[in-house]
Amino acid sequence: MTSLPMATFLQSESFIYVLYIVAFALFIQGLRGLSGPTTAVRGNRIAAVGMAIAVVATLLNPGEGNWGLIALGLAIGVAVGVPAARRVKMTAMPQMVALFNGVGGGAVAIVSWVEFRGLGSTYGSHTVEIGGEVIHTGGVATYVAIFSVFAAIVGSVSFWGSNIAFGKLQEILPGRPISLGSAQQIVNLVLLILAVAAGVDLVAGAHSELLFIGMLIVAALLGNAVVLPIGGADMPVVISLLNAFTGLSAAATGMALNNPALIVAGMIVGASGSILTNLMAKAMNRSIPSIVAGGFGGGGAVEGAEGAGEHGGTVRSIGAADAAIQLAYANRVVVVPGYGMAVAQAQHAVRELTKELESRGVEVSYAIHPVAGRMPGHMNVLLAEADVPYDQLKEMDDANPEFQRTDVSLVIGANDVTNPAAKNTPSSPIYGMPILEVADSRSVIVIKRSMNPGFAGIENELYFDPKTSMLFGDAKSAVSEITAELSAL
């Protein structure tokens, strides 16, 4: 093989390195495409081409071996990944993303483990002296061990955390917070210290695979302990955070393996995940530590209950026919979707309704709160699936000034993100959270299953507002009912 000059060139380190550079340039270019819906499809494909190039470059590596096993791994991956991606419903997208994120984290942890099995016996035996010269006394550099161990811990946390998030979203696990109460933070802290201590010991040369496995298990427990206490509505934050974790752990793997494509790709994902995490936390007016520390339900419910007593107002319940009439005579309607729409898979029914309204000359738009649903952008995807033109989807800052000239706000399965208490009641647990100011519109119709408070356990004073009418029922059937009434008018 080496006698062929072409093969020698293709397998040369420089050529492979250049391919990696091409690959990460394509990743960045691809992500730039995501800045607008029209260029996004191409952007995603550009990134995919970059990935293909990175894989080919790696396989060119002269040291590469075990081709049969590589083919086996790739085949299993394709056989599982392709049908999963093809079949998943848009409403199940948050779980799918959590699951894909989890396998990524799992891959990182396993790669670090195998790395340790291969090179771990040399951890800690490496010394460097900078006296004009660098002296390696055998073994891998300390920083390689550090990054590898870091990747193992974070990858394991991400794998288990994502799987728990998947379980909650898929409703295999209960969505409500499962926690150890006040002991939770102490347990988390102890687990974190244990994992880090084991990692430090390994880097220092504790040549024990048992310790490494122990560290993976502690990190796994930590992943469980962090995500289990987090309730459904905090999911957008958690998923973004886990996404950032997996990215950073991949970047660490890249540092350990001296692979520029891995470093750049991992770091970009880390940055993206961090940005999203921040945005989501801001949109809930909560700090990331307080979300990770867990449990929103408990304390808030008590305070909220007190607040509710003050209103003691009456709730006006209406039927689909009344709602239809109200909507039919409006000039401007804003639809405010929430997780309830996703649960009921009502997006197509909503689209039917708005089409019917538009055919009557009603101006319809959608106001989307950043944390509506279970992941960033969840509502947008569902409405896009139902063929809603994206220029009708308004972000919170653009939507809020419009409510004043809106005749009817139709709230479908959204609760806390419309609660005026966030603006008016300083004692409310959600005080300060930016909301969609539907209370500014001339009238409000809320479609809701029952009067049960939302995730935060807070009574929504919007429901007691005299201009609000409640239409109780499943989002999908209620919306279809309105459409039917509307076309009968």
Partner 1 sequence: MILASVLTTNLAILVLAGFIGFVVVSKVPNTLHTPLMSGTNAIHGIVLLGGLLLFGLADLSAFSKALLVIAVAFGTINIVGGFLVTDRMLDMFKSKPKPKPAEEDSRPDRLPPGGKVADGKAGNTKAGDGEAGS
Question: Could you give the string, one character per residue 78-97, with x where binding to partner 1 holds by CB under 8 A and - elsewhere?
Answer: x-xxx-xxx-x-x--x--xx
For partner 1, the binding residue among 139, 199, 247, 453 (CB under 8 A) is 247
Which residue is catalytic, options 322, 416, 465, 474? 416
| Closest approach of partner 1 to the CB of residue 381, in Å | 5
State yes or no: residue 164 binds partner 1 (CB under 8 A): no
Is residue 384 within the footprint of partner 1 (CB under 8 A)? yes
Under 8 Å between Cβ of 367 and 354:
no
Given candidates 51, 180, 196, 301, which one binds partner 1 under the rule CB under 8 A? 51
Residue from 1, 6, 13, 69 touching partner 1 (CB under 8 A): that is: 69
Q: Does position 365 bind partner 1 by CB under 8 A?
A: no
Q: How many CB atoms lie under 10 A from the CB of residue 124? A: 18
Among 18, 76, 172, 204, binds partner 1 (CB under 8 A): 76
Residue given tokens 């569902």 in the structure block? 382
Per-residue contact string for residues 1-30; x = within reach of partner 1 by CB under 8 A: -----------------------x--xx-x
Residue whose CB is less far from partner 1, 127 or 424: 127
Establish if 432 lies at the interface with partner 1 (CB under 8 A): no
Comparison of 191 and 264: residue with beta carbon closer to partner 1: 264
Minimum CB separation of residue 35 from partner 1 in Å reads 4
Q: Compute the least distance from the CB of residue 162 to partner 1, in Å.
A: 10
**What DSSP element (H or E) covers 17?**
helix 13-33
Provide the minimum distance between the beta carbon of 267 and partner 1 in the complex, in angstroms, as a whole number. Answer: 4
Candidates 154, 218, 230, 264; binder of partner 1 (CB under 8 A) is: 264
| AA letter at 17 | Y
Binding positions for partner 1, 130-159, rule CB under 8 A:
130, 134, 141, 143
Q: Work out whether strand 443-448 and strand 363-368 pair parallel, antiparallel, or are unpaired.
A: unpaired
The residue among 171, 214, 173 whose CA lies nearest residue 196 is: 214
Determine if 445 is a binding residue for partner 1 (CB under 8 A): no
Which of 168, 166, 172, 174 shows the shortest CA–CA distance to 96? 166
> Which position among 53, 100, 231, 416 is part of the footprint of partner 1 (CB under 8 A)?
100
468 is a site residue for partner 1 (CB under 8 A): no
Query: Is 31 a residue that touches partner 1 (CB under 8 A)?
Result: yes
Binds partner 1 (CB under 8 A): choice among 124, 167, 229, 254: 254
Question: Of 267, 334, 357, 421, which lies in the binding site for partner 1, with binding defined by CB under 8 A?
Answer: 267
CB of 312 vs partner 1, minimal distance in Å:
33
368 binds partner 1 (CB under 8 A): yes
159: number of CA atoms within 13 Å, CB side?
23
Closest to 105 (Cα-Cα) out of 69, 148, 70, 151: 151
Give the nearer residue to partner 1 in terms of CB position, either 25 or 315.
25
The reply to whether 465 sits near partner 1 by the rule CB under 8 A is no
Report which of 212, 478, 475, 141 is spatially closest to residue 339, judged by C-alpha positions. Answer: 475
Annotation marks residue 322 as catalytic? no
The distance of closest approach from Cβ of residue 450 to partner 1 in the complex, given in angstroms and rounded to an integer, is 16
- Is the Cβ–Cβ distance between 245 and 158 less than 8 Å? yes
Q: Which is nearer to partner 1, 402 or 474 (CB)?
A: 474
Tell me if 295 contacts partner 1 by CB under 8 A: no
User: Rounded to the nearest whole angstrom, what is the least distance from the CB of residue 488 to partner 1 in the complex?
Assistant: 9
β-bridge pairing 468-472 and 443-448: parallel
By CB under 8 A, residue 483 contacts partner 1: yes
Q: Which of residues 268-287 bind partner 1 (CB under 8 A)?
A: 268-273, 275-276, 279
Position 303 contacts partner 1 (CB under 8 A) = no
Neighbouring residues of 393: CB distance < 8 A, sequence distance ≥ 6: 365, 366, 368, 379, 380, 383
Q: Does 129 bind partner 1 (CB under 8 A)?
A: no
Least separation in angstroms between CB 305 and partner 1: 32
194's CB contacts (< 8 A; 6+ apart) are 218
Beta-ladder partners of 365: 334
Q: In sequence order, which ranges of 293-359 are alpha helices (DSSP H)? A: 297-311, 320-328, 339-343, 347-359
List all residues 6 or more positions away from 360 whose beta carbon is below 8 Å from its beta carbon. 328, 486
- Separation in Å, CA 76 to CA 69, 70, 264: 11, 10, 26
393-395 β-sheet, strand order = 393-395, 363-368, 332-337, 408-412, 443-448, 468-472
Is 412 a binder of partner 1 (CB under 8 A)? no
Identify the three-state secondary structure at position 334: strand
At residue 125, φ and ψ (nearest 5 deg) are -95, 10
Closest alpha carbon to 462 in 429, 436, 487: 436
Catalytic residue annotation: 416
